[in-house]
């Protein structure tokens, strides 16, 4: 049965944030709110957590996992960014964008796209997520919580607790959040290609 945790959306309680991070370090899989709907998350080294995400979402091997980062400096440790991408991505973050870029050696191979050696990265504009990332000290391995047969991410913690009670370990409630997923921009070939239009304005990345 999943633990149900209530975090204040503007002033998340440090003690409770610490409990969530302790659970992550103990290989928990969490459902947590972001600036573009709920997501599933675990530590980068949690192999079983990655596999659980795949099973819950029924993902195939071509799925791009996302590393949710605290800031741009952390993001830069895990992906290769040229000057043009650097300026454009930095100006759009934090925000509801996911960027697909070539992975560095810091990224475990099992988290990369099997052929392209790429990975998704993003910096969410959400106080609760930032508090968790700050305490954790590393990115979260993440996938948007869009269940099979659905097209939008879940937005209510109680709803997730009811449906995924026996397949996740922690569900975080933190008030109302948007239902629109991130805009995904593939920058792996040197120029931006919008592959999913979502909450972030895609026009800034389209010629």
**What is the residue whose two structure tokens read 């043009």?**
84
Q: Considering only the C-alpha atoms of the chain, give the largest distance between any 2 of them, rounded to a whole number of Å.
A: 48
| Beta carbons within 10 angstroms of residue 145's beta carbon | 26
Q: Is the pLDDT at 207 greater than 80, yes or no?
A: no
Three-state DSSP class for residue 103: strand
| Rounded CA separation 46/192 (Å) | 31
CA atoms within 13 A on the CB side of 160: 30
First to last CA, the chain: 48
Considering the segment(s) 3-205 as one domain, its CATH architecture is Alpha-Beta Complex (3.90)
Three-state DSSP class for residue 14: helix
> Which one is predicted more confidently, 179 or 58?
58
Q: Dump pLDDT digits (tens) for 8-24.
A: 999 999 999 999 999 99
Q: Is the distance from CB of 68 to CB of 124 less than 8 angstroms?
A: yes
Domains of the chain, residue spans: 3-205
| Rounded CA separation 117/146 (Å) | 24
What is the rounded average pLDDT for all residues in the chain? 94
Q: Dump pLDDT digits (tens) for 80-96.
A: 999 989 999 999 999 99
């Amino acid at each position: 049965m999943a633990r149900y945790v209530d975090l204040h959306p503007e002033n998340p309680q440090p003690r409770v944030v610490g409990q969530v991070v302790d659970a992550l370090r103990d290989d928990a899989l969490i459902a947590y709110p972001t600036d573009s709907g709920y997501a599933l998350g675990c530590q980068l080294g949690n192999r079983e957590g990655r596999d659980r995400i795949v099973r819950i979402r029924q993902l195939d091997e071509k799925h791009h996992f996302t590393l949710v980062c605290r800031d741009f400096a952390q993001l830069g440790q895990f992906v290769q960014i040229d000057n043009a991408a650097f300026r454009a991505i930095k100006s759009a973050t934090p925000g509801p964008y996911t960027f697909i870029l070539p992975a560095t050696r810091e990224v475990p191979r099992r988290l990369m796209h099997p052929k392209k050696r790429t990975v998704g990265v993003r910096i969410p504009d959400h106080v609760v997520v930032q508090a968790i990332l700050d305490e954790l000290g590393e990115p979260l391995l993440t996938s948007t919580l869009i269940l099979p047969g659905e097209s939008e991410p879940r937005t209510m913690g109680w709803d997730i607790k009811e449906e995924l009670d026996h397949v996740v370990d922690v569900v975080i409630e933190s008030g109302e959040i948007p239902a629109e997923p991130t805009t995904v921009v593939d920058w792996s070939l040197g120029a931006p290609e919008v592959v999913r239009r979502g909450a972030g304005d895609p026009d800034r990345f389209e010629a």
